[in-house]
Chain A
Amino acid sequence: MTVRRITSLGIMLALIFALSSLENALPPLPFLPPGVKPGLSNIMVMYCAFFFRKREAFLLAFLKSGFVLLTRGAIAGIMSFAGGMISVSIITLLLALFGERISVAAVSVSGALAHNFGQLAASSLILANTYTFWYFPVLAVSGVLFGIVTGITLKALTPALGRVLRDKDV
């Protein structure tokens, strides 16, 4: 592992922490359903899955939930872990299966949907019943919308990120 790679992963993790904190510090937007967030830090997890090793994307998602655990408590940490792990699993699986043939939006929308589904499953475990699945249609629609938003953002940011985050020295 090159120094450049380690530094790049560190910058990605720092960006994840910053985006996650920023999103959490903003007041809940009035037009969004309760608990729904854009998931901006997933942009960086996806960037890592696209351009670095798959296991490094898992590591970033894992460390993100550790950060949430420390800053926002046990329940938020569990939710972040559940959503993050299932989301990064789906993202890396799709990239492994389809490689260059799959679009950015297909990956980001699938990742967002998986994230929401994972959190719904985790909340059902915490609450010991499945009544929260009532919320599934809301989370499916918001997953599609914010998946598209994060996909567009990732595609737009990639040239700029690529100048800083890379594996090999130039």
Chain B
Amino acid sequence: MNRPLFKKADFILIAAVLLVAAALFLLVPKERGRYAEVYVNGKVVATLDLTKNTTASVTGAPSVTIEVKDGAAAFVASDCPDKVCIHTGFVSVSGQTAVCLPNRVQLRIKGGDDDVNLDAVVY
């Protein structure tokens, strides 16, 4: 193939994408959350206090179990084929989200400085 692997313009494209990704990453405040919301089909089915260690199955998705431990929450059991939810591990930062797509379950950490409000972030 005569087509080159890279051209000069590619590095500009790549740098731009990485810059945007880094900016988005840095803009989101990294605060520990206070509670975790559990969603099934986009609706909140449970709110878990992160200060109380617990293990519970999800209402509306009984095969899914979520554990709260030491201020963090994680999927610990699920009947889904890929187990991406479990591999995500414990999440604890406000805004951080773990999902189990096949069961349509979402675990979202909330309440660092309550909801993420970019306009209010000052460094």
Contact with B along A77-91 (1 / 0, CB 8 A): 001000000000000
Interface residues of B (CB under 8 A from A): 1-7, 9-10, 13-14, 17-18, 20-22, 24-25, 28, 39, 41-43, 80-82, 84-85, 87-89, 95-99, 101-102, 104, 106, 108
- Contacts A/B (CB < 8 Å), 5 sampled: A100-B3, A104-B1, A127-B42, A127-B104, A134-B96
Which residues of B are found within 8 Å of A79, using beta-carbon distances? 101
User: In the complex the two chains form, what is the Cα distance from A74 to B81 in whole Å?
Assistant: 11
B4, A131: Cβ atoms closer than 8 Å: no
Interface residue SS majority, chain A: helix
Which residues of B are found within 8 Å of A137, using beta-carbon distances? 21-22, 24-25
Q: How far does the Cβ of A170 sit from chain B's closest Cβ, in whole Å?
A: 18
B104, A144: Cβ atoms closer than 8 Å: no
User: In the complex the two chains form, what is the Cα distance from A129 to B97 in whole Å?
Assistant: 12
User: In the complex the two chains form, what is the Cα distance from A158 to B114 in whole Å?
Assistant: 52
User: In the complex the two chains form, what is the Cα distance from A72 to B13 in whole Å?
Assistant: 34
A128 part of interface (Cβ distance < 8 Å): yes
B24, A127: Cβ atoms closer than 8 Å: no
Interface residue from A28, A50, A72, A144 paired with B18 (Cβ < 8 Å): A144
A104, B108: Cβ atoms closer than 8 Å: no
Q: A104-B1, A104-B6, A127-B104 are in contact. List 18 more A-B contacts (CB 8 A).
A: A34-B84, A34-B88, A72-B82, A100-B3, A103-B5, A103-B6, A105-B5, A113-B17, A123-B99, A127-B42, A127-B101, A132-B99, A137-B25, A144-B14, A152-B5, A155-B1, A158-B1, A159-B1
A127, B3: Cβ atoms closer than 8 Å: no
Q: How far does the Cβ of A158 sit from chain B's closest Cβ, in whole Å?
A: 4
User: In the complex the two chains form, what is the Cα distance from A9 to B83 in whole Å?
Assistant: 33
Chain A residues bordering chain B, tally (CB within 8 A): 42
A100, B2: Cβ atoms closer than 8 Å: yes
Query: In the complex, which of the residues B1, B20, B95, B96 has the most CB atoms of chain A within 10 Å of its own CB atom?
Result: B1
Which residues of A are found within 8 Å of B5, using beta-carbon distances? 103-105, 151-152, 155
Closest B residue to A161 using CB positions: B1
Which residues of B are found within 8 Å of A123, using beta-carbon distances? 99, 101
Which residues of A are found within 8 Å of B102, using beta-carbon distances? 73-76
Which residues of B are found within 8 Å of A74, using beta-carbon distances? 102
A103, B97: Cβ atoms closer than 8 Å: no
Asked whether A128 and B87 contact (CB < 8 A) given A72-B82, A134-B95, A134-B96, the answer is no
User: In the complex the two chains form, what is the Cα distance from A37 to B6 in whole Å?
Assistant: 23
Q: Which chain A residues in 91-147 approach chain B with CB under 8 Å?
A: 100, 102-106, 109-110, 113, 123, 126-129, 131-132, 134-138, 140-141, 143-144
